[in-house]
Amino acid sequence: MNNLIQEDSANITGRYPSSTISRIAKYISVKAIILLVMLAIGIYLAVLAINYGGYIDKIYRAQIDDALGGYFMSTDTSMLSKEEQTQLYADLQKGMEQALGLDKPFLLRSLRWFYNGITFNWGQANQLETQEDSRDIRKIVFEALPNTLLLAGIANIFVFVASVAVALYLSKFYGGFWDRLVLALSPLSTIPNWIYAVLLIVIFAAQLHWLPFGGMYDTLPPATKLGYVPIVLKHMLLPILAIVLSMFFQSVYAWRTFFLIHQGEDYVEMAKAKGLTDRVINTQYILRPVLPYLVTNFAFLLIGFWQGVIVLEKVFNWPGIGLLFLKAVPINERGVTVALIVIFAYLLAASIFTLDISYALLDPRIRIGGDGQTVKPVKMSRRKAKLKLNRGTLKKRPGFLFTKDEQIRSGLPPNRDAAGRQKIARPRGSSALHTFGREIARYPLAVLGLLIIFLLVSVSIYTVVAIPYQEAVHLWRSGRTESRLLPENALPTWVNFFRSKKLPPNIILDSQDGTAIKKVMPSEKGVSKITLLYSFKYPYGDFPQDLAIDFNSQFLEKRPFVSLSWKTPDGREFDLGSFSVQNLQSYVLSLDAPKDLLDPEKNMQKFLTGGKGGHTAIEILFANPNYFEPVPVAGRYTLRIDGLVFEEAAVLDAKMILYGKVYGLAGTDHLRRDLMIALLWGAPIALAFGFLGAIATTLASMMLAAMGVWFGGWVDDLIQRIADVNMIIPVLPVAIMIFYLYSQSIWVILGVVVLLNVFSSMIKNYRAAFLQMKEAPYIEAAMAYGSSNWRIIFRYMIPRILPLLIPQVIILIPSYVCFEGTLAFLNVSEPNLPTWGKVIYDGIEKGAFQGYLYWVLEPVGLMVLTGLSFAMVGFALDSIFNPRLRKV
Amino acid sequence: MIALSPSKWIAIGFVLVVFGVVAPFLMVMKIIPSTFFLNFLSFAASVSGLVLGMYGAAMYVREHRRKR
């Protein structure tokens, strides 16, 4: 009561009483100390991971050996004896090892690295440099950090301000068009920001040319320093838009939902009954109670931002700490890696500490009393519980159903509940499915999501059966012989549906399979004349990529001789060269065409003599000579190969490959690989990653939370402290580090990511649910009849929240699907495994934005489709299983 | 706890948020040096500015309600 009076007096005077100030100060101090300890543990663990077992020390020793080898090669040491040279080598080696601290034991080395890390004594980099060519790691890091902070600051303001404003508007006009639209679009937030980044680059940079592809500055520097402002703003527009898009709908959905829930509270109804205006109700009755929630949500957005910034900076080539980390890890820049992990940890800790301070300011429980501690579970002996049970606690709870054992012990008839009422039969089997189907049918988007999931699962099963893993890896491996037959960077065939001038497909004619005409005319002394004719119709509106001929001849001593000629539909003929062929030999027009072919004097084609120049040999073979621009002539073309073989048993065959500009349903990449292989195999990999990750994370989190709550004491404390430390450790950088330092298996990385995610905010949510459950009468009853701890956990506690678990798992799946894509996009994936993320990585690295947009749009589209389908189903299930959400 | 009016809390929050954006911008343009202190000050200013702004808004709502 005194506390309430104090609070009331604070309201009147606008000042807090001294007891409140000391309580807040104590709360913040305790949080700061705990956070510092967690920070130290988190950073030390990261340092251990970076140098576990001295792995990188070995690399450093090898580098010392290389440096010394180079020194002795370049320095004249001939005046020294062999012993003196050996001694000099040993002395130099020892000195360099001491300078790097390699002479110390591993524990001391790791502690030294830890101390140096947290005190910013990061030393010198081996290869990375600042713009001023400095290798001081502090300078390298602090050159990149403001670039990232600039992105973070502006993006967070946009997200926060826009989300709160829109959420308030939507809750006010609940059920309207905009409300339903945002609700329908809310699953879009499951897509990571770098996917939005790719799409934005495609639209605004590649297609419209309004904004730059990436980077931070223009090629030419401005005249004054102020001139940098519009340049930087222009370059940061797309990255900020990507961040805002990825966070906006999630924030709006969550905040609008909470506004609505609080709108339904009695005091809001009372306010409406009093006749208050909507504006007053919104600001005074809805916004204020949800302020702590908004702050929490904002803090998690901040934490999420630091995880995603690495990928975003990679996409936009934004020179921040994320891009620096990606440069540092593959080249074993241990100092830079430690420095960046420390910076990430500090930034995460700063976000969490700000959250704690804001709790102290906003949460009345902290101001009034209790120091913000969570509710302590009541420790009750089994004897006490039994006594409570005997006093009839359970009988006052109608609807409570006994298990089989409890039923026997209770002495009630088998079909009665704890209050002695008749049990209502629950729908089972087909009727349960029917009920579920009826519920899910209320959400058309969820039905659509289920259909897409069914399709994806079917495609995955087909892929695994039709293209076994080894075959897929073989087909995807670059440099294989079959890929020679495919065109390079060919668009998918279906693009011809949208084009007036059709693009040519691949045309392959072979004298061995009968698609070409082969005439053999024997003559004297074992000499035979072989004519190979390759005739084909060409009705297309564009030129093919190139022409290749694969010769396959068999002879003992003397090589066959061939002459190539080309005949166009209008009767013109071109000589493509004459030469003797080996057993297996290839002729490629772009490389082997005779010089005369490109000579304007000899080929009087208008586009050659009067055009812009720079035309290729294939254009000369197909172009209409009467046009100033190269335009292909439609009709029948013929390639003729006249060969002479000089032995009776000699054979001459050849395959003509006219490389088209479209291929298959998915097109090809820069290594002539059919993208369909990666798109098909990407589905089972993404789904397996998503299902395994989501189920393992959710189950493990739930079990640990249940054990922590039930056993309490040090078990609960340990789990909670690990979760606290884990909040300081950035997941994505750790996963990248594991890949480069320990294992290139994506399943090992999945295991690490699951382990890190198990001890996340999820475990705290489950803990809150189990804490309430622990006090439930049926748990007391279970204790009273002597049920074991494990039985209570696994039979009575966990099954109760399993229904809540299903939407959690479904919503978590797209996160893991996208995380696999994110890792592959960062080239953190098994080298030969075809995945969607890897296709996107190749596409962006090898020039997809220069006219090959299909290369990134196809895998991006599939990833978005997969993510959205699970998210749509998950959101609907969340509404079905959570009665509070059902009405909103 | 310093007793400030809600509008002052909001104003302080706004200044901090602006500082959280302007300071990195000045560092990017090399007008001021990039140091650990300045970087974290700007980050802390950006985040705490938003929180203080929200706190100010909450105080304003409460005070406004009391006056009714």
Substitution target in A21, A39, A149 with the highest count of B β-carbons within 10 Å is: A149
DSSP run (H or E) holding A517: strand A517-522
Select the residue of A21, A149, A357 nearest B42 (Cβ to Cβ).
Answer: A149
- Chain B residues within 8 A of A13 when measuring between CB atoms: 3
Select the residue of A15, A142, A302 nearest B36 (Cβ to Cβ).
Answer: A142
Q: Are strands A584-588 and A517-522 parallel, antiparallel or unpaired?
A: unpaired
Strand order in the sheet with A651-659: A507-510, A651-659, A546-554, A584-588
The answer to whether the Cα torsion of A282, A284, A287, A290 is positive or negative is negative
- Chain A residues within 8 A of B62 when measuring between CB atoms: 11, 284, 288
- Chain B residues within 8 A of A280 when measuring between CB atoms: 68
Q: What residues have CB less than 8 Å from A70, skipping those under 6 apart?
A: none
- The closest of B58, B51, B3 to A9, measured between CA atoms, is B3
Query: How many contacts does A have with B, using Cβ atoms within 8 A?
Result: 114
What average pLDDT does this structure show over B30-39? 87
Substitution target in B1, B14, B68 with the highest count of A β-carbons within 10 Å is: B1
pLDDT in tens, A504-540: 999 999 998 889 999 988 777 778 899 999 999 999 9
Tell whether B7 is within 8 A of chain A (Cβ).
no
Select the residue of B34, B42, B61 nearest A142 (Cβ to Cβ).
Answer: B34
DSSP code of residue A216:
S
Substitution target in B54, B55, B66, B68 with the highest count of A β-carbons within 10 Å is: B54
Q: Are strands A573-580 and A561-567 parallel, antiparallel or unpaired?
A: antiparallel
pTM (global) more than 0.80: no
Give pLDDT, residue A3.
45
Tell whether B41 is within 8 A of chain A (Cβ).
no
Q: Which long-range contacts link A380-385 to residues 24+ away (Cβ below 8 Å)? A: A380/A780, A380/A783, A382/A783, A382/A784, A382/A786, A385/A780, A385/A781, A385/A783, A385/A784
Give pLDDT, residue A381.
47
Give pLDDT, residue A368.
53
How far apart are the C-alpha atoms of B63 and A284, rounded to whole Å?
A: 10
Which amino acid is located at A669 in the chain?
D
Give pLDDT, residue A402.
44
**Main-chain dihedrals φ then ψ at residue A565, nearest 5 degrees:** -140, 155
Low-confidence ranges of chain A (pLDDT < 70): 1-18, 51-56, 59, 160, 164, 172, 255, 257-268, 278-279, 281-303, 358-359, 361-432, 478-483, 600-614, 882-888
- Chain B residues within 8 A of A350 when measuring between CB atoms: 40, 43-44, 47
Burial code (b: 16+ CB inside 10 Å, e: under 16) for A715-746 equals ebeebbbebbbbbbbbbbbbbbbbbbbeeeeb
Q: What residues have CB less than 8 Å from B54, skipping those under 6 apart?
A: A291, A294, A295, A358, A362, B13
Give pLDDT, residue A455.
94
Q: For the residues of A531-584, what is the DSSP string, one character each? A: EEEEEEEE--SS--SEEEEEEEEE-SSSPPEEEEEEE-TTS-EEEEEEEE--SE
Give pLDDT, residue A439.
78
Select the residue of B21, B51, B54 nearest A153 (Cβ to Cβ).
Answer: B21
Structure tokens that stand for A414 in this block: 């088998």
3-class DSSP string for A623-647: ECCCCCCCCECCEEEEEEEEEEECC
Structure tokens that stand for A48 in this block: 């251990």
Q: B11 vs chain A: nearest CA distance in angstroms?
A: 15
Tell whether B48 is within 8 A of chain A (Cβ).
yes
CB A783 within 8 A of CB A701: no
Asked whether the beta carbons of residue B43 and residue A283 sit closer than 8 angstroms, the reply is no
- Chain B residues within 8 A of A150 when measuring between CB atoms: 21, 24-25, 28
Q: For the residues of A224-260, what is the DSSP string, one character each? A: SGGGHHHHHHHHHHHHHHHHHHHHHHHHHHHHHHHHH
User: Which residue of chain A comes nearest to B6, CA vs CA?
Assistant: A14
CA-based R_g, chain A, Å = 35
3-state percent breakdown (helix, strand, coil) of chain B, nearest 5: 80, 0, 20
User: Which residue of chain A comes nearest to B35, CA vs CA?
Assistant: A142
A283, HSE (Cβ side, Cα atoms, 13 Å): 15
Which amino acid is located at A769 in the chain?
A
- Chain B residues within 8 A of A354 when measuring between CB atoms: 44, 47-48, 51
Our measurement of the distance from residue A302's CA atom to the centroid of its chain's CA atoms, rounded to an integer in Å, reads 18
User: Which residue of chain B comes nearest to A280, CA vs CA?
Assistant: B65
Asked whether the beta carbons of residue B28 and residue A288 sit closer than 8 angstroms, the reply is no
Instruction: Note the helical H segments in A317-395.
Output: 321-328, 334-362, 364-368, 382-390
How far apart are the C-alpha atoms of A352 and A101, rounded to whole Å?
A: 34
How far apart are the C-alpha atoms of A780 and A392, rounded to whole Å?
A: 12
pLDDT in tens, A251-277: 777 767 666 665 566 666 777 788 777
Asked whether the beta carbons of residue A150 and residue B24 sit closer than 8 angstroms, the reply is yes
The answer to whether the Cα torsion of A40, A41, A47, A53 is positive or negative is positive
Tell me the CA distances in angstroms from A817 to A44, A738, A796, A871, B27, one per residue in order: 30, 19, 32, 11, 37
Structure tokens that stand for A529 in this block: 């004349």
User: Which residue of chain A comes nearest to B61, CA vs CA?
Assistant: A284
Give pLDDT, residue A56.
64
Alpha-carbon dihedral angle through residues A848, A849, A853, A858, given to the nearest 10 degrees: 60
Asked whether the beta carbons of residue A149 and residue B58 sit closer than 8 angstroms, the reply is no
Strand order in the sheet with A517-522: A517-522, A528-538, A635-645, A561-567, A573-580
